[in-house]
Structure 1
Amino acid sequence: MASFYTKSHVGTITRRFGLRPLKFRWIPSLYRKNAVIRIQTSTESYALKPYIRSTLLQSSTVHQMKTTADLIQLLMNNGYSYMPQWLYADSGKLWIVDKGRPFYITEWIHGRGLVESGDFEKLGRAIATLHTTSNDLLHTKKANSFTLKQIRLRKIEDRLFHRRMERAVQNNGKYRRWYKKHGKACKRLSDQLWTDMKDPEIVDLLNQEYTRPALIHGDITSTNVIVSDDGRLFIIDWDRVKIDSIYVDLARALVNTTQFNPEFIRSSLKGYEEIKPLHRAERRLITALYRLPREAWIAARFPGRKRSGQLLDMMDTTWSSRLEAIKLLDEWAHQ
């Protein structure tokens, strides 16, 4: 892909946004070698992003880009300050199409990653502000029980996990050892969620979601959070912003950013509840979603991939820390 973006081509795209680049270079992400192009002008740096279509949706790349831009515009109009500023193109839109591919440009955030408890408090506030702001804005949108839909999908994944893992262990000693060590525990963690979903308190909470649509980021990971040089926190890479479950969003963010560190988990939840206090049913649901061994499900789905083996190694290394984090959240949920 990189060879496709010559200096001339990048210049053509960036001029549509009123920029004249002096130089550019590709910046990798965790999953993609060429994820974003860093543009340097005479005064500032910018991020030029080719929009990547989600294969989980049936809609086209252009339709997905338009939907994303509409939601970003909604947040911009209402002063959401935890994302980089998006630039407008000469068309007046936040994106363009060049050679069949959508592009957008944001400011480049100079800074560092999450390293201290104060950073995680800021992240908690950023996520809660997104959830509460969008909840107020989307009251006219069609709602659904997004969490219930996600849980149904996770239940299918859990069933497939055990079938796939049983096949994988026949030909892979690493998978066999891992599954023998952690397979039953993974099942117990998942089964607890299926049990919790029958609790009247949580059933009522899921029914309320029909009247409370909200936006989620969809991919809050350590690499997608930056603390700028002036101390502000930014969440980047908003390609997967959508109306969906705030409980899934928060649970995944805790798994993907805190490294199962109790101090970081407490700080994230403290920051979140400063903006959006959670009642007991919400806490219980977040805790139940946090337990899910999704890394193992992904590894079982693609047993031949190097990344899958790395996920199992990571789970094995962090298993005791994961269980301690679950214990912490259980206590928090029942306070």
Structure 2
Amino acid sequence: MADGLNEALLKTVIRRFGLSAREVTPHSSFYRPNAAYRVTSGQGDWVLKPFRRTPGRSDAEHQIRAVVACIRTLEKSKYPHMPLWRTTTSGRYWLSSGDTVFYMTEWVKGRILSRKPAEFEELGNALARLHGLGRSMSGHRYTRRHKHLLRAKERRFRTQLSKLSKQNSPGGQWFAAHGSECNALAHEAWSLLRRPEASLAMDQEREEPSLIHGDVTIPNIIVTAAGIKLIDWDTLRVGSRYMELVKALSNVTGFNPELMAALLRGYEEIRPLNLGERLTIAGLFRLPREAWYSAEALANGRKHSAFEPLRQTWPDRLEAVRWLDEWAAGPTEQVQDGHESAALRKETPNEPMKG
């Protein structure tokens, strides 16, 4: 039987979902042990998931209700890239036992994403279909909210950089060498995001809201015989489709331009992007977010999980920034006679560190 939660509690919860478990196996995530439980039963294999509340938001029951409202929208739209959700014997999508909220989905059999461009194209399809939903829900300027939060992160970084660069540590040495590059990238990113076309794209989110998965990472993407499935829907909500795309490009492509191109190509097969949207994506991607998060932790005497990947992939990240500049300046519905492409290249030179 499973480790982690009380065995009797797990059996009770599983029965309330209409199953008799033959075996329950705990599965850990990158961030925490016993993040989910595989339930083997006479009705197939399922995942029992203790719901992960998003810090800084409402209580778990309020959040799971909001997630379930979105899940019903996906089910109604026959969204093909999520697992089947199992309801309780009383027809509910979730239940509460003690201090823990649970939901259950089918166990998705498959493998992790390979480095084949075709699989990244399909992932792009999956995200575009998801982002095309949510139109019936109330919208806000989600990307602008992220922009304001990131501005605050940048301000803290600039005040911490001088102190951090003087530290005789691997982190201090890295920021002494690359801190000015981070500042140049941010300066150029804000210039892109101030462009009228990008500003319009961000404003239109209020009228055209999107559902987002909220955690598009390699462990949450399963390649099955039926195609790509996204799992772990705890953070499903209406949000910024542009930030989701930027985070997906950062999280799953390894900053490989070929795979980035495949993901974006697949996305645009379903949902073409205009110039303002491309500028927004290029600007947000250019922001050295992981450097800011790492610097804040290191300045306070703590380690941050993002620092070592940041250090190892920095040259690849800069090359990915350059590639995305070219992509953003490429042909779109609003580019005519190359004028927009030339204007973009003027504002975002191929050597971002020299700004």
TM-score, normalising length: structure 1: 0.93
> 2:150 corresponds to which residue?
154
> 1:312 corresponds to which residue?
307
> 1:328 corresponds to which residue?
323
Matches of 1:171 and 1:69, distance apart in 2:
48
Matches of 1:96 and 1:301, distance apart in 2:
38
CA deviations over 1:256-297 (Å, ceiling 9, x no partner)? 110011111111011100000011111111111111222122
CA deviation after TM superposition for structure 1 residue 198, in Å: 2.0
Matches of 2:268 and 2:121, distance apart in 1:
10
> 2:274 corresponds to which residue?
279
CA deviations over 1:43-101 (Å, ceiling 9, x no partner)? 521111101211131x1111011111111111111101101111011231110001131
Match of 1:248 among 211, 232, 243: 243
> 2:124 corresponds to which residue?
124
> 2:198 corresponds to which residue?
202
What amino acid does structure 2 have at the position aligned with 1:279?
N
| SS at structure 2 position matched to 1:211 | coil
Contact 1:86–1:107 (CA under 8 A) maintained in structure 2:
yes
Matched, 1:31 2:27: no
Alignment identity in percent?
Answer: 37
- The Cα RMSD (Å) is 1.7
Alignment of 1:1-335 (within 5 A): 5-57=5-57, 59-115=58-114, 116-135=116-135, 138=136, 141-171=137-167, 173-228=169-224, 230-303=225-298, 304-306=301-303, 308=304, 310-335=305-330
Contact 1:14–1:20 (CA under 8 A) maintained in structure 2:
yes
Matches of 2:129 and 2:204, distance apart in 1:
20
Matches of 1:287 and 1:97, distance apart in 2:
42
Query: Which blocks of at least 5 consecutive residues in structure 1 are unaligned?
Result: none
| SS at structure 1 position matched to 2:53 | coil
Matches of 2:33 and 2:185, distance apart in 1:
34
CA deviation after TM superposition for structure 1 residue 313, in Å: 2.2
| SS at structure 2 position matched to 1:209 | coil
CA deviation after TM superposition for structure 1 residue 163, in Å: 2.8
Matches of 1:311 and 1:220, distance apart in 2:
16
Contact 2:166–2:176 (CA under 8 A) maintained in structure 1:
no
| SS at structure 2 position matched to 1:133 | coil
CA deviations over 1:4-50 (Å, ceiling 9, x no partner)? 52332211101111111111121111111221111111352111110
Matches of 1:40 and 1:32, distance apart in 2:
22
Contact 1:165–1:175 (CA under 8 A) maintained in structure 2:
no
Matches of 1:169 and 1:327, distance apart in 2:
26
CA deviation after TM superposition for structure 1 residue 165, in Å: 4.3
Query: Which blocks of at least 5 consecutive residues in structure 2 are unaligned?
Result: 331-355
Deviates further, 157-166 or 33-42: 157-166
What amino acid does structure 2 have at the position aligned with 1:160?
R
Matches of 1:161 and 1:112, distance apart in 2:
39
| SS at structure 2 position matched to 1:96 | strand
Instruction: List, as ranges, runs of 4+ consecutive aligned residues in structure 1 with deviation greater than 3 Å.
Output: 164-172
What amino acid does structure 1 have at the position aligned with 2:8?
S
CA deviation after TM superposition for structure 1 residue 231, in Å: 4.5
Matches of 2:123 and 2:95, distance apart in 1:
30
Aligned residues: 326
CA deviation after TM superposition for structure 1 residue 232, in Å: 1.2
What amino acid does structure 2 have at the position aligned with 1:62?
E
